[in-house]
């Protein structure tokens, strides 16, 4: 009887950025070497990094002023491609790049934070004759055109950790900063990260992960463990903080251009929930935290319990008929 050959996955290399030699921001010596080796073998590299633009903010070094979106409570991000602009990543408001600070008339502006366009510029300096494609929401391409770009490029930069970009010719996948996804306020983000990297492993692609947290338990499981180990890691946290599948989770977003009207809607819904909820029901909502998104004030109500259906049924009128209320339910 012929013995079945055991399948082996490519190894995962972890690069601790805290001790690594950086040739440019987030571009370690190991990363540059890996890319050079792949290109010399005429192999493709895919780099994931979920930060758009060139810099996360554009600040005056003389007075500390930075442009904000007039419709959302965030700083405008600095973009250099396809042209030099300041852009809101929430509502796509655009402001032309100013040479002088409107606050102090100074001219010493500096991009703060690192966006994918900055990474693209730095990589172009190291690899001037290499075909490179950047994939993010600032570049409008149809799916067919996008896949053709991936096929014809040696280096692919993407803000999306999407398995659709794992082209058969790609030999190595690089996560430029592992924890950039983990900072997102979503309890499912670790699970999504695990499944993405697990898929890449099964696709037999080499993986390079750069991180400032090399001792993160999720990295150990991704490198050496399996799905059973992952479930053992994630289950206690899901149980402790009442997240699915151990409880139901509901997020009510209330939004309106009028701050007073929003306050009245919040108070009405919260008062109704307080009457309906059980002792086991977790309720949290914004009281003094105010933020704007696309010109509207936005606040949130979070509900968690084994069963939330009895509350949501009673809130049906507020949820279904009120355009100011949206529900996310799991």
Taking each helix axis from N to C end, the angle separating 116-126 and 29-40, rounded to the nearest 10 degrees, works out to 60
Give whole-number Cα distances, 157 to 50, 108, 162, 276, 320, in Å. Answer: 10, 29, 12, 50, 41
Q: Count Cα atoms within 13 angstroms, Cβ side, for 7.
A: 5
Q: In this model, does residue 250 exceed pLDDT 60?
A: yes
For residue 20, which of 29, 9, 8 has the smallest C-alpha distance? 29
Section 155-159 average pLDDT: 87
pLDDT of residue 208: 94
Percent of the chain residues past pLDDT 90, beyond the cut: 16
Cβ within 8 Å of residue 310, ≥6 positions away: 276
Structural domains in the chain, sorted by start? 14-51+115-238 (3.40.50.300), 248-329 (3.30.70.600)
Q: Which carries the bigger pLDDT value, residue 327 or residue 97?
A: 327
Section 127-146 average pLDDT: 76
The highest-confidence range among 33-37, 146-150, 265-269, 316-320, by mean pLDDT, is 33-37
CB-based burial, 55-93: b 16+ in 10 Å, e otherwise? bbbbbbeeeebbbbbebbebbbbbbbbeeebbbbbbbeb
Contact 116, 46 (CB under 8 A): no
Q: 1-10, 103-112, 302-311 — which is least confidently predicted?
A: 1-10
Q: How much is the pTM?
A: 0.76
Burial class (CB in 10 A: 0-12, 13-18, 19+), 137: exposed
pLDDT of residue 1: 44
Query: 90-104: per-residue pLDDT in tens?
Result: 777 888 877 788 888
pLDDT of residue 21: 93
pLDDT of residue 2: 46
For residue 141, which of 118, 165, 114, 171 has the smallest C-alpha distance? 165
pLDDT of residue 207: 92
Cβ within 8 Å of residue 40, ≥6 positions away: none
Categorize the per-residue pLDDT at 312 as very low, low, confident or very high, splitting at 50, 70 and 90. Answer: confident
pLDDT of residue 264: 87
Q: 125-134, 275-284, 312-321 — which is least confidently predicted?
A: 312-321
Q: 35-44, 63-72, 195-204, 227-236 — which is least confidently predicted?
A: 63-72
pLDDT of residue 52: 66
Query: 203-244: per-residue pLDDT in tens?
Result: 888 899 999 988 888 888 888 878 888 888 889 988 888 888
């Amino acid at each position: 009887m012929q013995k079945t050959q055991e399948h082996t996955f490519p190894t995962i290399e972890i690069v601790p950025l805290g001790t690594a030699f950086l040739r440019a921001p987030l571009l370690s010596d190991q990363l540059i070497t890996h890319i050079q080796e792949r290109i010399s073998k005429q192999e493709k590299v895919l780099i994931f990094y979920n930060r758009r633009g060139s810099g996360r903010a554009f600040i005056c070094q003389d007075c500390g002023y930075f442009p904000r979106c007039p419709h959302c409570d965030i700083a405008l991000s600095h973009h250099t491609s396809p042209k030099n602009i300041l852009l809101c990543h929430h509502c796509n408001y655009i402001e032309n790049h100013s040479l002088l600070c409107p606050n102090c008339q100074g001219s010493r502006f500096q991009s703060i934070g690192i966006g994918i366009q900055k990474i693209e510029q730095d990589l172009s300096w190291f690899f001037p004759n290499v075909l490179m494609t950047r994939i993010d929401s600032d570049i409008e391409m149809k799916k067919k055109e996008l896949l053709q770009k991936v096929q014809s490029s040696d280096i692919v930069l993407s803000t999306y950790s999407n398995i659709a970009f794992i082209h058969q010719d790609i030999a190595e996948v690089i996560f430029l900063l592992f924890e950039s996804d983990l900072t997102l306020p979503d309890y499912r983000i670790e699970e999504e990260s695990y499944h993405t990297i697990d898929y890449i492993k099964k696709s037999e692609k080499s993986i390079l992960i750069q991180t400032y947290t090399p001792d993160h338990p999720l990295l150990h499981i991704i490198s050496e463990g399996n799905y059973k180990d992952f479930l053992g890691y994630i289950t206690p946290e899901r149980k402790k903080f009442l997240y699915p599948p151990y409880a139901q989770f509901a997020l009510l977003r209330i939004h309106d251009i009028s701050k007073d009207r929003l306050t009245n809607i919040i108070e009405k819904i919260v008062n109704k929930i307080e009457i309906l909820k059980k002792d086991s029901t977790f309720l949290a909502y914004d009281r003094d935290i105010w933020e704007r998104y696309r010109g509207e004030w936005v606040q949130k109500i979070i509900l968690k319990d084994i069963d939330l259906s009895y509350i949501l049924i009673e809130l049906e009128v507020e949820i279904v008929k009120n355009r100011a209320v949206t529900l996310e339910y799991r």
